[in-house]
C-alpha cells in the first residue's frame, strides 16, 4: 500500500446455508369423518435460514375417484399470512397453516401436499 510492494494475503471462509422448512407435526393424519363433514388440523411451519422475505405457496393433490371423477377435497388457510419474515434477531417467524378435508364421496388418500417458497424450494 502507498507504493509499498509488500503483498498481503487475506483468507476468507464461510458457510452457505440453504433455506429450509420444517413441519410440526412432520406427518398429518386426519380422522375419518362422515361424508360432507369437514375435518381440520393446524400445522406449524418452521422456516430456517431465510435471509429475505419469501411467500409460501401450496400444491394440493387432486384425487381421482373410481368412476373417473376428479375432486380437490383439501384446502389450506394461513390465518396469520403466508409470508416468511426475517425478524430483527435474524430468525424466521413460524407460520400456522390450517389444513382441512371435506368430501361428499367416499375416499381415502395417502400422499403429499407440497409447500413451495418463491425460489421453488
The whole-number pLDDT of residue 53 equals 87
What is the pLDDT tens value at each position of the chain, 121 positions in all? 566 666 677 888 888 788 899 999 998 888 889 999 999 999 999 999 888 889 999 999 999 888 889 999 999 999 999 999 888 787 899 999 999 999 999 888 888 999 999 888 8
Give the pTM.
Answer: 0.79
Domain residue ranges in the chain:
36-116
The 8 Å CB, 24+ separation contacts for 3-10 are none
The whole-number pLDDT of residue 35 equals 94
Question: What is residue 53's three-state secondary structure?
Answer: coil
Amino acid at each position: 500500500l502507498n507504493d509499498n510492494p509488500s503483498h498481503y494475503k487475506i483468507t476468507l471462509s464461510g458457510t452457505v446455508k440453504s433455506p429450509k422448512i420444517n413441519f410440526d407435526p412432520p406427518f398429518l393424519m386426519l380422522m375419518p369423518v362422515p361424508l360432507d363433514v369437514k375435518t381440520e388440523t393446524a400445522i406449524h411451519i418452521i422456516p430456517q435460514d431465510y435471509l429475505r422475505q419469501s411467500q409460501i405457496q401450496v400444491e394440493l393433490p387432486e384425487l381421482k375417484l373410481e368412476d373417473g371423477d376428479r375432486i380437490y377435497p383439501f384446502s389450506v388457510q394461513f390465518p396469520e399470512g403466508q409470508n416468511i419474515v426475517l425478524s430483527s434477531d435474524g430468525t424466521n417467524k413460524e407460520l400456522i397453516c390450517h389444513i382441512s378435508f371435506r368430501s361428499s364421496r367416499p375416499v381415502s388418500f395417502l400422499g403429499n401436499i407440497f409447500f413451495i417458497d418463491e425460489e421453488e424450494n
